[in-house]
Chains A and B, each alone.
Chain A
Amino acid sequence: MKLTEFFHKELIVTNLEAKNKEEVFEILYRKLLENGYVKESFLEGIVNRERTFPTGLLLNGNNVAIPHTDAEHVLKPAIAVATLSKPVVFKNMANPQEDVNIRIVFMIALNSAHSQVKLLQQLVELIQSEELLQKILSVKGGEEVIEVIESYELKNQVGKVN
């Protein structure tokens, strides 16, 4: 299974100018809904979850947010992506009182945990690569984002001894 199977160009927005995280949620949710990945209840699920358990991750360079919610709101698994022209404020997963400036949002639609272990592991690997995040931020268009992730996957598979 490849991580890129869960990315689709119609679910990616690059260089988005958003006022706040709610606007990012709304835009990515619309894409997931219109393309048949989530139910209408998904947005409320995301907003509620983010309020109680925020998903901003403070990393070594570019910070990432991974909003997601309960499986019951999801029809098909996918990852929607937004790269932001200006950072928006999220709360830190490690400390809900703390603000984190986010430039990349991966909205994860998961419909069951265990079948998606590999997907989650690979996504976590991806967000830990500052080099890759920088590349994702530098490209324009959904296809280009997928290409960047694909080339990273290839590079890592070659290097891995299994």
Chain B
Amino acid sequence: MGVDKKKTILVACGTGIATSTVVTEKILDACKKEKLDVNVIQCKVSEIKSYAENADFIVTTTILKDSFGKKSINALPLITGIGEEQVLKEIIEEIKK
């Protein structure tokens, strides 16, 4: 595996303060359990453009029109609870890449 660079995840939602807050906490919690160290940047969807360059991938609770060449994962299941484990798994796998 070698020395991995710490991944940076961009977590975005419409206002950047509500659903993205819950999603960020759930990701950090899951990373703690997996003993993974990550950077999380929380922002509004409209701000993704200015942060995307520094991010490894994007997690949002809405549909993204443009993910600026980055992989994006829809994390709405972390809010509704429907399919939550699957999405967390996908995010963890992406971090481990």
A58 within 8 Å of B (CB atoms): yes
| Min CB gap B57→A, angstroms | 19
Q: Tell me, in angstroms, the Cα distance from A71 to B16 when the chains sit together.
A: 10
A71 touches B17 (CB 8 A): yes
Q: Tell me, in angstroms, the Cα distance from A112 to B80 when the chains sit together.
A: 22
Q: Tell me, in angstroms, the Cα distance from A93 to B79 when the chains sit together.
A: 10
Binding site for B on A (CB under 8 A): 49, 52-53, 55, 57-60, 66, 68-71, 93-96, 108, 110, 112-114, 116-117, 120-121, 124, 127-128
Of the candidates A57, A112, A121, the one whose C-beta lies within 8 Å of that of B22 is A121
B15 touches A70 (CB 8 A): yes
Q: Residues 7-44 of chain B: 1 if any A CB is under 8 Å from the residue's CB, otherwise 0? A: 00000011111110110010000000000000000100
B1 within 8 Å of A (CB atoms): no
A128 touches B80 (CB 8 A): yes
Q: Tell me, in angstroms, the Cα distance from A68 to B18 when the chains sit together.
A: 8
Binding site for A on B (CB under 8 A): 13-19, 21-22, 25, 42, 45, 61-63, 74, 76, 79-82
| Min CB gap B48→A, angstroms | 13
* In the complex with contacts A116-B21, A121-B22, A53-B79 CB distance below 8 A: no
> Nearest 10 pairs between A and B by C-beta?
A53-B14, A128-B81, A113-B17, A94-B76, A120-B22, A124-B22, A120-B21, A113-B21, A68-B18, A53-B62
Contact partners of B74 in chain A: CB under 8 A:
94
A49 touches B79 (CB 8 A): no
| Min CB gap A44→B, angstroms | 14
B80 touches A58 (CB 8 A): yes
Contact partners of B14 in chain A: CB under 8 A:
49, 52-53, 55
Q: Tell me, in angstroms, the Cα distance from A88 to B45 when the chains sit together.
A: 26
A68 touches B15 (CB 8 A): yes
